[in-house]
Amino acid sequence: MAPPTQRHGRHGRPVQKPKNAKKTIKRLLKYLAFYKFLFVFVFLCIIVSSGANVASSYFLQPILNDYIVPAIGSKSPDLSGFVFLLSKMALIFALGSIAGWANNRIMIHISSKTLYKLRTELFAHMEMLPLRYFDSHTHGELMSHFTNDIDAIRDMLSQAVPQLFSSLLTVVACFVMMLSLSPVLTLVVVLTVVAMIAVTGIVGKYSAKAFRSQQESIGKVNGYIEEIIEGQKVVKVFCREETSKIEFDSLNDMLCKAGTKANTLANILAPLMNNMGHISYAFTAIMGVMFIIAGKMDLGRIASFLEYSRSFKNPITQMAQMFNGVLNALAGAERVFAVIDEETEVDEGYVTLVNANILSDGSVAEAFFPTGQWAWKHPHHDNTVSYVLLKGEVQFENVTFGYEKEKTVLHNITMTAHPGEKIALVGSTGSGKTTITNLINRFYDASTNVDGGSKIRFDGININKIKKADLRRSLGIVLQDTHLFTGSVADNIRFGKLDASMQEVETAAKLANADYFIRHLHQGYETIITGDGESLSQGQRQLLAIARAAVANPPVLILDEATSSVDTRTESLIEKGMDSLMQGRTVFVIAHRLSTVRNADKIIVLEHGRIIENGSHDELIAQKGRYYKLYTGSFAS
């Protein structure tokens, strides 16, 4: 996803700007349409709240002219009217406070409900995206949609939009009131505001440049820290602590200089604006006094005007800040909608996996209760339905595939894995071993990347005709990179079969040789795992992943370097336990340690996406070809 365009706020801080604000606003309004009647009430509350603030300044005129000034020197002034006026002011303030509270409370309700819908829709859609999308986007980028982008939208809905509307009303009302009190003084205030905006633009221009430099320095420092922390063992092994400190000091010094310059300019702006505001206020007051002396204005009118001038300037500053917040939120919403608009994983399959019942004549029928056997339910165009017993035969017919159209990874792969066979895929890194397994489980579809002729069949059925969920239910996969979820050990094993009993969980753990170490955990199978299993060794995490696949009891197993993180003894024990699990099942094994695939029924040697050798261990050793060199390490000869 392309980075959003940027502008810089009044303090030089980067502000992200949406590419198409109008389109994004329209889309957001669709989410808010359900609350349109509440919005009407919110805007009424804002009008009441802003009106109360504007009215409070107006009361200064009658208070001074009608009560304070006449009461000067009077021994027994009549304060009944003054008290009544104060009561009216108190009532207006109370109404304004209640309206302000109601506005905030309702907007929090609206924003929370809206973001709940938006976040739910985003997560649901993300779960339907193809694996290709996750391979091309970083985890941090995806997480930022749920955190930074959604939070920016929340701030806009609950704070920025109501405050923008409130500030706009206040500015307009104050301007109208100032014009009615004194057009000449109003012109003075407007000219001062224009001067303040001009100064802000000049300082902000230099500040923006300084903050960009600071952000670049922060990125370099953070990147260096992360790199050194992750590689701390290497740093210590080669005694590079002092060199690392010197390099860090250099980067930190650059950040210090950039940060000093950026924050100096940013911190100058606020006092500069305040002092210009004070000068404007003092100049307006002096002119007002001159008007009073000349008999053109009274004290009450000048006092009200000065309050309005202050109320006129402050909202303008707030509007600038809120406007930047709105731009950030719209840019965030645009990124969220971009994810929601991503094309979901296409599944045109119609063949499903059902419980099978083998009749007395040998035919297969669908059972509506668990039988321990499965069949493919295959509807046909003539409205007939056939059933194919799930055996686990996998065929590749001239499969050519590339993750990108201009770069082919697999070339004319043809092979057959018969039910119960153990197929080993060997070859150097990048030869296409994992790509083959990605096509079997339809993480990627070969048909979308080739001109035609490529077919992968499962029990004689083109896998593109099989629903992806049903296809993947028939497969057990153990990946090289193990991921564990927060929960108990038993729950992590049960992830392979959510309705598995405790006995099934323990049986699967024993098959994977994980039962021994699990029982030695402080709470056994109920031990809680957090942080992707950070309290377990890499080998133990791998054993749990194998147990997770074993509990699903699938007819086809895919083991992608499944024993890469365990020692030789544990690997041997795992293989013995897995042998019983593999009986009657088709198994694809990817392994760099060729000693683990000696007992495979068929070993397929890949190089640059092509099958260059095919046979059993003894057959390939006798050929003394590529496999022989890989196995014996005799490349130099």
Q: What pLDDT does 502 receive? A: 93
Task: Examine the pLDDT at 5 and tell me if it is beyond 50.
Answer: no
Condensed to tens digits (0 to 9), the pLDDT of residues 166-213 reads 888 888 888 888 888 888 888 888 888 788 778 777 776 777 677 777
Task: Examine the pLDDT at 35 and tell me if it is beyond 50.
Answer: yes
Between 415 and 208, the higher pLDDT residue:
415
Q: What pLDDT does 581 receive? A: 62
Q: What pLDDT does 449 receive? A: 47
Q: What pLDDT does 583 receive? A: 67
- Spell out the domain ranges in the chain: 15-72+82-340, 352-389, 394-632
The mean pLDDT value for 586-592 works out to: 83
In order, the DSSP letters of 117-151 are HHHHHHHHHHHTS-HHHHHTS-HHHHHHIIIIIHH
Between 285 and 5, the higher pLDDT residue:
285
Cross-strand bridge partners of residue 586 = 556
Between 361 and 98, the higher pLDDT residue:
98
Cross-strand bridge partners of residue 257 = none
**pLDDT interval class at 525 (50, 70, 90):** very high
Q: What pLDDT does 55 receive? A: 78
Cross-strand bridge partners of residue 354 = 375
**pLDDT interval class at 636 (50, 70, 90):** very low
Helix (H), strand (E), coil (C) string for 321-345: HHHHHHHHHHHHHHHHHHHHCCCCC
How many whole angstroms separate alpha carbon 480 and alpha carbon 610? 22
Task: Examine the pLDDT at 601 and tell me if it is beyond 60.
Answer: yes
- Strand-by-strand arrangement of the 374-379 sheet: 364-367, 352-358, 374-379, 385-389
Task: Examine the pLDDT at 566 and tell me if it is beyond 80.
Answer: no
Q: Which two tokens stand for residue 133?
A: 């999308």
Q: What pLDDT does 490 receive? A: 92
The mean pLDDT value for 517-537 works out to: 86
Condensed to tens digits (0 to 9), the pLDDT of residues 192-205 reads 878 877 877 777 67
The mean pLDDT value for 121-135 works out to: 87
Among 57-66, 205-214, 622-631, the range with the most confident prediction by mean pLDDT is 622-631
Task: Examine the pLDDT at 613 and tell me if it is beyond 60.
Answer: yes
Q: What pLDDT does 8 receive? A: 43
- Average pLDDT value over all residues in the chain: 81
Note the pTM of the prediction, 2 decimals: 0.70
Between 566 and 470, the higher pLDDT residue:
470
Task: Examine the pLDDT at 78 and tell me if it is beyond 80.
Answer: no
How many whole angstroms separate alpha carbon 325 and alpha carbon 331? 10
Q: What pLDDT does 219 receive? A: 72
**Per CATH, the architecture of 394-632 is what?**
3-Layer(aba) Sandwich (3.40)
Q: What pLDDT does 526 receive? A: 92
Q: What pLDDT does 224 receive? A: 84
Q: What pLDDT does 458 receive? A: 92
* Residues 550 and 543: beta-carbon distance below 8 Å: no
Residues of the chain above pLDDT 70, percent = 89
Report in angstroms the alpha-carbon separations of 443 from 302, 391, 402, 437.
75, 21, 13, 9
The mean pLDDT value for 507-521 works out to: 87
The mean pLDDT value for 147-173 works out to: 83
Task: Examine the pLDDT at 428 and tell me if it is beyond 60.
Answer: yes
Between 195 and 17, the higher pLDDT residue:
195
Helices (H), 231-368: 232-237, 241-293, 299-340
The mean pLDDT value for 72-96 works out to: 79
Residues of the chain above pLDDT 90, percent = 8
How many whole angstroms separate alpha carbon 561 and alpha carbon 425? 10
Quote the CATH superfamily of domain 15-72+82-340: ABC transporter type 1, transmembrane domain (1.20.1560.10)
Task: Examine the pLDDT at 15 and tell me if it is beyond 70.
Answer: no
* Residues 556 and 499: beta-carbon distance below 8 Å: no
- Which range has the worst mean pLDDT, 58-72, 384-398, 509-523? 58-72
Among 271-285, 494-508, 583-597, the range with the most confident prediction by mean pLDDT is 494-508
The mean pLDDT value for 283-312 works out to: 81
**pLDDT interval class at 73 (50, 70, 90):** low
Condensed to tens digits (0 to 9), the pLDDT of residues 227-283 reads 888 788 778 877 888 888 998 999 899 889 888 887 787 677 667 777 777 787 888
Angle of CA points 99, 193, 51, to nearest 5°: 15
Task: Examine the pLDDT at 145 and tell me if it is beyond 90.
Answer: no
